[in-house]
């Protein structure tokens, strides 16, 4: 059994999608459609940069989704491999949950691009620049990371944002609390803490204003039925009901990305193979979580051709 998985923020890089767009008119159409939806030449930014602009949350989120969806579109149109035939479920890391829903038919490409643009802006606006921060804790499991976050908070917000895999947990909150956590990391048996180059403290309670904006946006653009179940970030559970998923997408803004638990839940549900679309970030994480799972990353036309040969 196969899960199709979709990467999140941090997987963007200048040049993304270029090779695919040159090789396939169907990929190019995806980027054109996203440009049209956002009234911006986002694909030019993806191709040429500058990196500082591509990394901005409001650009990075729709760009990563567009890259993933171009990969899905090429699989379907060039190779005749529909997601609903190839995948038994989908999942995505943070914004990747929107890519997963788009791929499974819950949102149109245009609506997904607009939702992610709004999500990026709302998350950026929720906390003034410099007030919040995030750090990756290397060599930390969830227990050590939670204990460190509690110790470093000192009345401020310091919370576990992403439980990525058994060796990496990300914390988020007030900048001073994150700095304290980095200083205290070794005392908590954690190899080290590294501040992340992000412009806002995602997936913590400081994001509440963004959650309210997304709640309103998702009332106006609710997910439709999806072709395969999705494993939701905030519960690490299997979801088939669009109404339930809509409320989980709101909770996801302030809630923890339970990626490690999601992979374990998928593995326990009989999923043996994890296919990452448009990135090479989640595959290595899956390998560290479920060492007996098979992982495949589909980024280039060659990747897609090889996958089609084996699965056509």
- Cβ contacts of residue 266 below 8 Å, gap of 6+? 3, 89, 91, 231, 274
Q: CB–CB of 12/116 below 8 Å?
A: no
108 an active-site residue?
Answer: no
Residue positions counted in the chain: 312
First-to-final CA distance of the chain: 15
Asked if 240 and 227 touch (Cβ cutoff 8 Å), the reply is no
Q: Residue 178 is encoded by which pair of tokens?
A: 């994150």
3-state SS, residue 16: coil
In the set 68, 203, 262, 297, the catalytic residue is 203
Which member of 11, 24, 68, 94 is catalytic?
94
Catalytic residue check, 94: yes
Q: What share of the chain is helix, strand, coil (3-state, %, to 5)?
A: 55, 15, 30
Q: What amino acid positions are annotated as catalytic residues? A: 94, 203
């Amino acid at each position: 059994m196969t899960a199709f998985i979709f990467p999140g923020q941090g997987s963007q890089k200048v040049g993304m999608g270029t090779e695919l767009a040159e090789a396939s008119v169907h990929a190019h159409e995806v980027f054109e459609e996203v440009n049209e939806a956002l009234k911006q030449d986002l694909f030019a930014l993806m191709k040429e940069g500058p990196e500082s602009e591509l990394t901005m949350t409001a650009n990075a989120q729709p760009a990563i989704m567009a890259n993933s969806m171009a990969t899905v579109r090429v699989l379907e149109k060039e190779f005749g491999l529909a997601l609903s035939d190839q995948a038994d479920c989908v999942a995505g890391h943070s914004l990747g949950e929107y890519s997963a829903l788009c791929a499974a038919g819950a949102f149109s490409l245009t609506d997904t691009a607009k939702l992610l643009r709004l999500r990026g802006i709302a998350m950026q606006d929720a906390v003034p620049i410099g007030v919040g921060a995030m750090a990756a804790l290397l060599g930390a499991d969830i227990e050590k990371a939670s204990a460190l976050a509690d110790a470093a908070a000192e009345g401020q917000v310091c919370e576990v944002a992403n439980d990525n895999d058994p060796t990496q947990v990300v914390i988020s909150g007030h900048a001073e609390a994150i700095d304290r956590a980095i200083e205290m990391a070794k005392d908590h048996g954690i190899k080290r803490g590294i501040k992340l180059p992000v412009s806002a403290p995602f997936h913590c309670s400081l994001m509440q204003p963004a959650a309210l904006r997304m709640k309103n946006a998702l009332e106006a653009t609710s997910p439709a039925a999806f072709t395969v179940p999705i494993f939701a970030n905030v519960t690490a559970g299997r979801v088939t009901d669009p109404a339930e998923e809509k409320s989980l997408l709101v909770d996801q803004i302030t809630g923890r990305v339970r990626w490690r638990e999601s992979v374990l839940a998928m593995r326990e549900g009989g999923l043996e193979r994890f296919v990452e679309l448009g990135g090479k970030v989640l595959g290595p994480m899956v390998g560290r979580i479920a060492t007996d799972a098979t992982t495949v990353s589909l980024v280039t036309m060659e990747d897609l051709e090889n996958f089609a040969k084996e699965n056509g």
